[in-house]
């Protein structure tokens, strides 16, 4: 211990006497404490519970402050005056909140520290078990039996070894020929399961981070039937929707959605196939999941010379705020125009937009040019020196496009988790000690003990074992003690 | 097939009512009644003697086994009729949950020779069947999101087994609270109840982990993301955390007895919350 006078004089000696380990040890102890782990689990459970009860804003909404404001407006219908408070506490986005992440980081740290702390101890109990148990230890073991064997101690020990080996125990023995000690165990690696499960939790967090850093995602990538769209997101991939189909049951519930899709890389078709809700297409680590679908409008635009400057399906994947009508847009970069296309509402037969029509609005730099016009199918219309034609209705498929390089880490972690839990809980370790002591008349006394803290399920196991061992020794169990009786 | 399935369901319901009645007779030592009979005269000794109680218990077990057979038949017939695993709506899931609770109960009864658990497990199983009669039971084709036979079957089957284990743990926890002073003669010793609750969680906890993992695998395939904080998966995670807390508190800090029992009851509340959650919080699991 450093004396006060030492500390008050800043010499090299004093400085060296405060080793990093001493400084770190209170922190280390705090992180390794089970009290902290339990507190963290309780805090996480509480947040998870809140996140289950309260509506959570989707990530795409949270990242867009305007959309989030709108979302909050809708939420206030449900949560009333509490909406503001919940929002300030980040409770509508609990799982991405600062404090949720901080808790996870702290939990991961605590797990790593606990693992480092326990590693040596568990290693020692697994690999360096004492073979020789004392008589007191054996007679105080929860399950124990004393048997007489009409044979020398070495012979009795040998028979025990054979019998236990056949019962899938691993047996080691030691000692002089008149007092042979045995130690037998099964599933001895069981306790390493705890490292697998705990580290798998850390690995899951690592996997999530890898995905967040190196992955990308477009949850609403839309492509109209017959059209090809570049994926973007730093790739050279494009998606063509060759056909989309939806089937329904007689009662109107959906039976099947499917899209025939071709993937192109550098403009070259690389892969074609059908995607469904439960069968995505995967290509070079990018997964294409069928997520939603809707109406599209095939539009053609020609300039004054009759040259085609746009021809393709426009997914009407958004909704207008007022009339809940499907709306989509496309750009004409040369003209600096954005074209908005609004379709009719399905349940509206006599509205401002009739079936077989679309309404079109043109914008330049977010300022509307020309009045909105309705286009009938197949009827060209000239606006701003361009000719617009609504060729026909069609459909679009909405894909969720994901690249998540962290996923393999996640699946590996899941495998570790299952392996660890199986080892720990379904293949528990069994340990048994025995002592064969030779009497002067050449016979032996055999003591077998199986310690277990309150493990009633071992009663059956020990029962079977002692019958087996008694048989091996041609002995009757002289004494069987167990407080494992089920009824009091 | 649908009719047969329904008959099997009704048969299971009846068997279970009988089983519960017999289990109560068997488990509860009606000492008041017995002394009354003694007072009636020497001819009516042993009104409910140990032998009769034992017999009642045996028949209770047989009826539970019958209920399991009938429920299995009911679910299997629905599977044959619909062509997919019988786990696609709340009716089928309730039957399956009840089935899981009964199967795990039978295992624990066999393993520990303990029938007393029945007096709390059977009412839960019965309540689930009762609930099933209140929800639509038409066989419906699967919506596209559920069209994955292997995962649908395994994911839900493992879930009902985990839920069944937690039901048994709950029964042990409740009985423990009645028996905290070892004052009830006809109940097992409280250390035994404590131990059984623990064993049931040890069995169910890895199962729930597997449910979450299988759910993640399926979510990745169908929705493109292994974890989306969907309310049902979040509720399942919450339940898993509670039992994780229980295991740590018990194994590492020696929490036993009252606190342990309360933990088991809270865990079962979380299980029910997970199970019924999709009805009120919507999300991707809102199929029924």
Q: What is the pLDDT of residues B235-288, one digit of tens each?
A: 999 999 999 999 999 887 878 888 999 999 999 999 999 998 777 665 666 554
Residue that wins the pLDDT comparison between B226 and B43: B226
Phi-psi region for residue B134, left (φ > 0), alpha (ψ -120 to 50) or beta? alpha
B-interface mutation test, from A32, A33, A52, most B Cβ less than 10 A away = A52
Q: Which residues of B touch A285 (CB under 8 A)?
A: none
Helix (H, G, I), strand (E, B) or coil at A256: strand
Chain A residue with CA closest to B185: the answer is A488
Model pLDDT, residue B28: 78
For residues A398 and A289, give the distance between their C-alpha atoms in angstroms, rounded to a whole number: 9
| A257:B191 CB<8 A | no
Contact criterion met (CB < 8 Å) for B234 and A51: yes
Give B196's contacts in chain A (Cβ within 8 Å): 456
Asked if the Cβ–Cβ distance from A45 to B222 is below 8 Å, we say no
Contact yes or no for A253 and B225 at CB 8 A:
no
Distance CA B162, CA A298 (A): 52
Q: Give the nearest partner residue to B222 out of A278, A404, A410, using CB atoms.
A: A278
For residues B192 and B173, the answer to whether their CB atoms sit within 8 Å is no
Q: In which band, very low, low, confident or very high, does the pLDDT at A23 lie, cut at 50, 70 and 90? A: low
Residue B130 to residue A55: CA distance in whole angstroms: 30
Task: Please give the average per-residue pLDDT across A156-180, as a whole number.
Answer: 92
Q: Are residues A74 and A57 in the same domain?
A: yes
Alpha-carbon distance of B229 to A70, in angstroms, equals 21
Residue B288, helix vs strand vs coil: coil
For the cut 80, the answer to whether the pLDDT of residue A259 exceeds it is yes
Asked whether residue A463 is assigned to any structural domain, the reply reads yes
What angle do the packed helices A153-166 and A458-472 form, to 10 degrees?
130
CA distances from A116 to A6, A113, A119 (A): 33, 5, 5
Which among B209, B226, B242 has CB closest to A410?
A: B226
Task: Show the domain range for B122.
Answer: 2-281
Residues from chain A that touch B284, judged by Cβ atoms under 8 A, are none
Per mean pLDDT, which of A394-398, B44-48, B81-85 is the most reliable? A394-398
Chain A CB contacts of B152 under 8 Å are none
Q: Which long-range contacts (CB under 8 A, 24 or more apart) does A372-376 make?
A: none
Q: Do A102 and A171 reside in the same domain of the chain?
A: no
User: What's the rounded Cα separation, in Å, for the pair B209 and B190?
Assistant: 29
A236 shares a domain with A318:
yes
Residue B34: Cβ-neighbour burial (10 angstroms; 0-12, 13-18, 19+): middle
Average pLDDT over residues A400-412: 95
In terms of CA atoms, which chain B residue is nearest residue A53?
B281
Distance (Å) from the C-alpha of residue B230 to the closest C-alpha of chain A? 8
Q: Are A204 and A384 in contact (CB under 8 A)?
A: no
Q: Which residues from chain A sit within 8 angstroms of residue B224, using beta carbons?
A: 217, 219, 280, 287, 289, 291, 400-402
Residue B190: pLDDT over 90: no
For residue B209, list chain A residues with Cβ-Cβ distance below 8 A: 417-418, 421
Provide the ipTM.
0.88
Contact yes or no for A289 and B222 at CB 8 A: yes
Size of interface A-B (CB pairs under 8 A): 128
Coil, strand or helix at A458: helix
Average pLDDT, integer, range B21-35: 70
CA A272/CA B117 separation, integer angstroms: 57
Structural domain ending residue among the three candidates A371, A388, A421: A421
Banded pLDDT at A264 (limits 50, 70, 90): very high
Residue A153 domain-assigned (yes or no): yes
Q: Single out the residue of A302, A328, A326 nearest to residue A315, CA to CA.
A: A328
Could you give the 3-state DSSP secondary structure of residue A306? coil
Please report, to the nearest 10 degrees, the dihedral formed by the alpha carbons of residues A325, A326, A331, A337 taken in order: -10
One domain, residues A173 and A35 = no
A331 and A385 share a domain?
A: yes
In a domain, A4, yes or no: no
Please name the member of B143, B206, B273 whose beta carbon is closest to the beta carbon of A425: B206
Tally of CB atoms within 10 A around A252: 6
Are A291 and A367 within one domain? yes
B210/A418 CB distance under 8 A:
yes
Res. B47: pLDDT tops 70:
no
Is the per-residue pLDDT at B32 higher than 70?
A: no
Higher pLDDT, B267 or B39: B267
Contacts of B144 in chain A (CB under 8 A): 254-257, 276-278
Q: How far is CA A19 from CA A10, A23, A114, A117, B276, in A?
A: 15, 7, 22, 19, 56
Nearest to A42 among B213, B221, B245 (CB): B245
Query: In this structure, is residue A146 part of a structural domain?
Result: yes
Q: Are B261 and B173 in contact (CB under 8 A)?
A: yes
pLDDT at A486: 42
**A182 pLDDT above the threshold of 50:** yes
How near does any CA of chain B get to the CA of A403, in Å?
9
- CB contact burial A421-456 (16+ within 10 A = b; e otherwise): bbbbbeebbbbbbbbbbbeeeeebbbbbbbbbeebb
Does A483 have pLDDT greater than 70? Answer: no
The answer to whether A45 contacts B252, with C-beta atoms less than 8 Å apart, is: no
In a domain, B288, yes or no: no
Check A402 against B229: CB less than 8 A apart: no
Mutate which: A100, A215, A278, vs B, most B CBs within 10 A: A278
Looking at the structure, tell me whether residues A294 and A367 fall in a common domain: yes
CA angle A187, A193, A199 (to 5 degrees): 165
Cβ–Cβ of A457/B111 closer than 8 Å?
yes
Domains in chain A: how many in total? 4
**B41 falls within a domain:** yes
Shared-domain flag, residues A256 and A380:
yes
Which residues have CB under 8 Å from B178's CB, separation 6+? B184, B187
CA distance A47 to chain B (A): 9
Judged against a pLDDT cut of 60, whether residue A293 lies above it is answered with yes
What's the gap in Å between the CA of B223 and the closest CA on chain A? Answer: 7
Residues in chain B: 288
Between CA B153 and CA B87 the distance in angstroms is 7
Q: Are both A230 and A209 inside the same structural domain? A: no
A435 bridge partner residues:
A181, A447
Q: Quick check: A426 and B206 CB within 8 A? A: yes
B139 contacts in chain A (CB < 8 Å): none
Nearest-Cα distance to chain A for B178, in Å, is 15
Residues A154 and A230 in one domain: no
Which range of residues forms the domain containing residue A53?
19-106
Has residue A248 got a pLDDT over 50?
Answer: yes
Of A256, A278, A417, the CB nearest to B209: A417
Would B211 be classed as within a structural domain? yes
Question: Which of A318-332, B52-66, B174-188, B205-219 is predicted least confidently?
Answer: A318-332
From chain B, pick out residues whose CB is under 8 angstroms from the CB of A51: 229, 234
CB contact under 8 A, B241 and A41: yes
What residues does A434 pair with on adjacent strands?
A: A182, A448
Q: Residue B267 class from Cβ within 10 Å (0-12 exposed, 13-18 middle, 19+ buried)? A: buried
pLDDT at A459: 75
pLDDT score recorded for residue A12:
33
CB < 8 Å to B216, chain A: 410, 414
Whether A199 and A321 share a structural domain: no
| B147 to chain A, closest Cα gap in Å | 7
B251 Cβ neighbours under 8 A, 6+ residues apart: none
Closest CA to B205 of B137, B271, B136: B271
Q: Which of A71, A106, A141 is the last residue of a domain?
A: A106
Q: Of A67, A75, A78, give the one whose Cα is nearest residue A321.
A: A67
Who among A38, A95, A254 is closest to B144 (CB)? Answer: A254
Residues of A in contact with B228 (CB under 8 A): none
* Alpha-carbon separation of residue B191 from A182, B151, B177 (angstroms): 31, 39, 11
Cα distance between residue A223 and residue A219, in whole Å: 13
B203 neighbourhood in chain A, CB within 8 Å: 425
Instruction: Report how far residue A34's alpha carbon sits from residue B253's, in angstroms, rounded to the nearest whole number.
Output: 8
Helices in A33-184 by DSSP H: which ranges? Answer: 34-53, 59-62, 65-79, 82-88, 98-127, 135-140, 153-166
Closest chain B residue to A403 measured between Cα atoms? B224
Which of A106, A139, A164 delimits the end of a domain? A106
- The whole-chain average pLDDT of chain A stands at 86
Nearest CA-CA distance, residue A161 and chain B, Å = 28
Give the pLDDT of residue A154.
92
Instruction: Output the pLDDT for position B96.
Output: 94
CB contact under 8 A, A421 and B140: no
- Regarding whether A447 and A395 lie in a shared domain, the answer is no
Rounded to the nearest angstrom, the minimum Cα separation between A154 and chain B is 37
Percentage of residues in chain A having pLDDT higher than 90: 44
Total count of domains within chain B? 1
Among candidate residues A109, A99, A118, the one with its CA nearest the CA of residue A36: A109
């Amino acid at each position: 211990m450093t004396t006060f006078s030492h500390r008050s004089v800043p010499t090299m000696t004093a400085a060296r006497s405060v080793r990093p380990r001493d400084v770190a040890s209170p922190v280390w102890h705090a992180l390794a404490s089970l009290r902290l782990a339990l507190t963290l689990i309780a805090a996480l459970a509480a947040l998870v519970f809140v996140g289950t009860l309260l509506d959570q804003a989707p990530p795409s909404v949270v990242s867009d402050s305007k959309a989030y404001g709108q979302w909050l407006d809708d939420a206030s219908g449900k949560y009333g005056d509490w909406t503001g408070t919940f929002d300030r506490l980040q409770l509508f986005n609990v799982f991405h909140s600062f404090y949720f992440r901080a808790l996870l980081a702290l939990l991961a740290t605590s797990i790593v520290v606990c693992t480092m702390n326990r590693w040596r101890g568990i290693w020692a109990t697994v690999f360096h078990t004492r073979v020789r148990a004392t008589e007191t230890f054996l007679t105080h073991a929860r399950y124990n039996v004393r048997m007489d064997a009409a044979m020398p101690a070495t012979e009795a020990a040998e028979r025990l070894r054979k019998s236990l080996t056949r019962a899938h125990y691993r047996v080691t023995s030691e000692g002089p020929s008149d007092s042979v000690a045995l130690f037998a165990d099964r599933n001895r690696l069981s306790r390493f399961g705890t490292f697998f499960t705990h580290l798998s939790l850390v690995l899951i967090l690592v996997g999530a981070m890898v995905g967040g850093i190196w992955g990308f995602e477009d949850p609403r990538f839309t492509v109209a039937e017959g059209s090809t769209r570049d994926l973007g997101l730093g790739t050279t991939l494009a998606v063509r929707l060759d056909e989309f189909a939806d089937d329904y049951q007689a009662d109107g519930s959906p039976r099947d959605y499917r899209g025939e899709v071709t993937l192109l890389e550098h403009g070259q078709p690389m892969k074609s196939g059908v995607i469904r809700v439960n069968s995505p297409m995967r290509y070079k680590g990018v997964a294409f999941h069928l997520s939603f679908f809707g109406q599209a409008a095939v539009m053609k635009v020609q300039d004054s010379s009759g040259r085609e400057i746009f021809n393709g399906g426009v997914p009407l994947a958004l909704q207008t705020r007022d009339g809940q009508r499907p709306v989509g847009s496309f750009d004409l970069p040369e003209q600096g125009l954005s074209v908005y296309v609004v379709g009719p509402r399905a349940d509206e037969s006599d509205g401002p937009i009739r079936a077989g029509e679309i309404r079109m609005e043109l914008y330049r730099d977010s300022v509307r040019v020309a009045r909105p016009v309705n286009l009938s199918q197949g009827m060209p219309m000239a606006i701003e020196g361009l000719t617009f034609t609504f060729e026909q209705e069609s459909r679009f498929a909405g894909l969720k496009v994901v690249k998540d390089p962290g996923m393999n880490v996640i699946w590996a972690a899941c495998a570790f988790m299952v392996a660890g839990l199986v080892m720990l809980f379904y293949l528990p370790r069994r340990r048994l000690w025995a002592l064969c002591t030779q009497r002067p008349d050449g016979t032996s006394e055999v003591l077998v003990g199986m310690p277990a803290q309150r493990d009633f399920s071992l009663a059956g196991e020990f029962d079977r074992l002692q019958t087996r061992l008694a048989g091996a020794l041609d002995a009757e169990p002289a004494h069987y003690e167990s407080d494992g009786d089920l009824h009091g | 097939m649908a009719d047969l399935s329904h008959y099997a369901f009704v048969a299971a319901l009846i068997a279970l009512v009988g089983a519960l009645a017999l289990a109560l007779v068997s488990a509860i030592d009606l000492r008041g009644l017995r002394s009354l009979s003694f007072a009636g005269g020497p001819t009516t000794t042993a009104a409910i003697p140990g032998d009769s109680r034992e017999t009642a218990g045996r028949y209770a077990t047989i009826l539970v086994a019958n209920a399991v057979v009938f429920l299995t038949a009911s679910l299997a017939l629905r599977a044959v009729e619909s062509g997919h695993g019988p786990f696609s709506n709340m009716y089928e899931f309730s039957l399956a949950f009840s089935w899981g609770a009964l199967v795990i109960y039978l295992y624990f009864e066999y393993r520990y020779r303990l029938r007393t658990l029945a007096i709390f497990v059977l009412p839960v199983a019965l309540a689930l069947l009762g609930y099933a009669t209140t929800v639509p039971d038409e066989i419906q084709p699967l919506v596209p999101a559920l069209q994955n036979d292997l995962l649908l079957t395994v994911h839900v089957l493992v879930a009902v087994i985990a839920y069944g284990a937690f039901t048994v743990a709950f029964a042990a926890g409740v009985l423990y609270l009645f028996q905290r002073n070892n004052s009830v003669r006809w109940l097992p010793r409280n250390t035994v109840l404590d131990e059984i609750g623990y064993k049931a969680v040890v069995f169910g906890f890895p199962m729930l982990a597997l449910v979450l993992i299988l759910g993640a695998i399926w979510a990745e395939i169908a929705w493109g993301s292994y974890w989306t904080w969907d309310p049902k998966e979040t509720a399942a995670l919450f339940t898993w955390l509670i039992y994780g807390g229980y295991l740590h508190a018990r194994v590492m800090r020696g929490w036993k007895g009252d606190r342990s029992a309360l933990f088991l009851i809270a865990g079962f509340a979380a299980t029910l919350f997970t199970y019924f959650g999709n009805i009120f919080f919507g999300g991707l699991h809102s199929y029924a």
